[in-house]
Chain A
Amino acid sequence: MRNMANYRLRKGYDIRIEGQAEKILETAPFPAAVGLYASDFYGMAPKALVDGGERVKVGTPLWHDRRRESLVVASPVSGTVAEVRRGARRALEAVIVRTDGKQQAAKSAPPPKRTGPSNRKEIISALCASGLFPLIRQRPFGTVADPLAEPRDIFVTAMDTSPLAPDQELILRGREREFRRGIEVLAALTTGKVHICTAGGMELDSHTSGLENIEHHQFTGPHPAGNAGVHIHHVAPIKGVDDVVWHCTAQGAILLGRYFITNIPSFEVTVAVAGSAAADRRHVRTLIGAEISSFARPNDSSSPVRYISGNVLTGRNAGADGFLGFSDSLVSLIPEARGKKFLGWLALGFSLESVSASFISRFLPRRRFSIDSNRNGSVRAFVATGIYERLLPMDILPSFLLKSILAGDIEEMEKLGILEVTPEDFALCEYACPSKTDIQRIIRDGIGLMLKETGETE
């Protein structure tokens, strides 16, 4: 492994939100049900393979991609399918499995013992069959990786700068061997390099010493300095539609490694329970797709709470009876907005969080704020306030990229950098936007348009 540069990013912002999870790790009670959402697998066209009432085991495929049938989403538990939820035009939305607690594994061939470029195909088919392959994502566009693609490089994101993010050290602690094996597996999938990106000052030598074609990059700076898109942009940018790069999280790498060590797919992850409305803010070991209520509960049951799987900028509003998302390692509980505030725009703002410096809170940099789900203003026309430009640490002109998407101008979008971004990279801009524009949706629409144009369906 080679230690590479330390990137110091100045643009961005750390939202001063209250409710960080404590650095404690517990094992959560085994969930009574798990659910997997089709929307967590962007770029897949799901076709359900199970019906309600059917028995499934750990690793049993729940659905596959219509065009690439080897690409499957598998059950993380053994039990009975409780519901196959469908939306408009019978599109698959989610599959919910009632667990039996036995965790019987489905029969499958074990993954190859030796991992190297020579048996890349075997590794990929084993990963696909296990249901773990969708842990790997692909750029451009941030879709689930295409098993048929040959990535130029693979990025491993071993840091998280998003609001209330889980503790990376806690995720990796005691998992060094699995992480190392995961990196070996990933290294076999590319002819290029595996770039491991961590926060500044993080030591990796003990995890990955002696491995070939691995580079370690350190990123220092406010959110979104921890985003894969930002890392790729600075280390080895996407050059065109066909310049494919894969990326996965450290947690993802651990799951891949564990599978190659134990020969059984495991879906056990470390998740932070955070947010000002959450009781017992801590880290827990649970399963991908676990019922959120099995490990998180609100600290005040009398007032409405928003259950978010993921972080407060990009996560899914899962509801009290929702499930942990496939790639999420955080559940955030925040208060729902309630009550009018008289002359709110005149407030001095001792307790209002803002990127702008227009509230007194600006001068209380150490304070943390309880932030609810209030939109804090009405939707207005775009005004070039210069705020987005301060929040995106890439050589991309955010307002102009957004305008080109609104205009549907594919050529301009590409020249302005749509290939390098995903909605999460713009989530902070959306948070700070004084016009309350849905910026992530605009980026998503732009990516959808590009995918359609380049011949793939959404």
Chain B
Amino acid sequence: MKTRGRIRSMFEKGGSLERLWPLLDAAETFLFRLPARTSGGAHIRDAYDLKRMMMIVVLALFPCMAFGTYNVGYQFYASAGIAAGHLDCLIKGLWVVVPLYAVTFAVGGFWEAFFALVRGEEINEGFFVTGTLIPLVMPPTIPLWQLALAVSFGVVLGKELFGGTGMNVFNPALVSRAFLFFAYPKSISGAGVWVLKGDRMVDAVSGATPLHLGIEPVGDIVPYLSSNGFDFWRMFSGLEPGSIGETSVIAILMGAALLLVTRVASWRIMLSVFAGGAAMALLCNAFAPSPASMLALPAHYHFVMGGFAFGAVFMATDPVSAAGTNAGKFIYGFLIGVLAVLVRTLNPAYPEGMMLAILFMNLFSPLIDYMVVRLNMRRRRLRAAG
């Protein structure tokens, strides 16, 4: 106790390590619920705080993280034609995923601490969720140095320049991904990056994601996907190439259940993303020139392919970058679904439309809120007049 008091005094005002106070504070608030008392205003406060909220999102991501790790190993052995055990798949996956997390948290944590020290503010827990998300939206083959650059870009330009947690316009994890997408497209698009490959490769395996195959189907699209090993239930379960965390809809649904039960994420957004995607898919189906076109892909296939489900559950629902009004959330989510399917079906250069759809709607969420707020003002004015 005495030692801790002495260490503490070094960090307090006038102490030799005064400038590093945010580091001590972060460590303390992380470890303890401090007995800070209410003063002025409400005398009691809800046990819930932002830290708790973020921990729940991280918890909700665990199934995706676990399955994704397994799938990295599984895809590796499958591409090599080796029948490996579950444990082997998991170990191989950990071999890839653990370094990705280590780099992400080292780089992201550095920037968070750096900005907190410069501003003299507390280090906040905002990076927890971003840092957990980033490796999950990366291909398993991403070079670590590119990941480090992407994390820096996402945290510094995506968040800190706007003023830090709560102030950002875009989802920082998606900013990181978008950075790679435009700066190092070869590392994060195309058919070659989604499966970790060894020296030995079985010729029959292309390593392309189902979305890629969908661009130019040979024959009717659904049977074509199926003949390549991507029937609906396989994609639902997630044993397919793709970004690490996005493939298993089962894992995503487990996370979604936690987020919805705890009401941490907005059901309005989640629901309307799927509604928008379904509506757009149906529209595309109606105009599909032939069943051998991406336009003919049924809605429920869109939901299990690529990052649609992952984006709807974990990215679109980020409260900071989403619309803030309840009515606005419906519009925001619906348009994300529409745009994601639109990009997928009509623009073969970007088979994955989800990331762009969410970033685009991040940009428009203040406008949507603005319109909802004006409508509220109008309704209130009319009521006062009547």
Which residues of chain B are within 8 angstroms of A317 by Cβ–Cβ distance? 39, 43
| Binary interface encoding of chain B residues 39-64 relative to chain A, with 1 for a CB under 8 A from any of its CBs, else 0 | 11111111111111101100000000
Which residues of chain A are within 8 angstroms of B290 by Cβ–Cβ distance? none
**Of B51, B164, B376, which is within 8 A of A381 by CB?**
B164
**Of A371, A396, A415, which is within 8 A of B44 by CB?**
A371
Contact B35 A337 (CB under 8 A): yes
Residue on A with the closest CB to B373? Answer: A400
Least CB distance, A103 to chain B, in whole angstroms: 33
| Binary interface encoding of chain A residues 1-43 relative to chain B, with 1 for a CB under 8 A from any of its CBs, else 0 | 0000000000000010100000000000000000000000000
Contact-size category for A? 35 or more
For residue A108, CB closer than 8 A to chain B, the reply is no
Contact A341 B320 (CB under 8 A): no
Docked complex Cα distance between A374 and B42 (Å): 11
Contact A376 B326 (CB under 8 A): no
Contact B35 A374 (CB under 8 A): yes
Q: A308-B43, A337-B36, A356-B53 are in contact. List 11 more A-B contacts (CB 8 A).
A: A332-B43, A340-B32, A342-B33, A354-B48, A358-B56, A359-B48, A389-B325, A395-B380, A395-B383, A397-B376, A415-B380
Which residues of chain B are within 8 angstroms of A377 by Cβ–Cβ distance? 33, 45, 48-52
Contact A341 B33 (CB under 8 A): yes
Which residues of chain A are within 8 angstroms of B124 by Cβ–Cβ distance? 378, 380
Residues of A343-378 at the interface with B, using a CB-CB cut-off of 8 Å, are 343-347, 349, 352-359, 371-378
Q: Which of A78-86, A201-209, A320-328, A426-434 contacts B (4 or more CB under 8 A)?
A: A426-434
Point out residues on A near B: beta carbons under 8 Å: 15, 17, 163, 237-240, 306, 308, 312-315, 317, 332, 334, 336-347, 349, 352-359, 371-378, 380-386, 389, 395-397, 399-400, 415-417, 427, 430-436, 438-441
Known: A376-B45, A377-B45. Contact between A340 and B377, CB under 8 A? no
Contact A337 B37 (CB under 8 A): yes
Known: A240-B384, A337-B36, A339-B35. Contact between A436 and B43, CB under 8 A? no
Least CB distance, B8 to chain A, in whole angstroms: 13
Which residues of chain A are within 8 angstroms of B324 by Cβ–Cβ distance? 384, 386, 399-400
| Binary interface encoding of chain B residues 310-352 relative to chain A, with 1 for a CB under 8 A from any of its CBs, else 0 | 0000000001101011100100000000000000000000000
Docked complex Cα distance between A438 and B43 (Å): 11
**Of A15, A353, A441, which is within 8 A of B41 by CB?**
A441
Docked complex Cα distance between A341 and B41 (Å): 24
Contact A346 B45 (CB under 8 A): no
Least CB distance, B157 to chain A, in whole angstroms: 18
Docked complex Cα distance between A374 and B381 (Å): 41
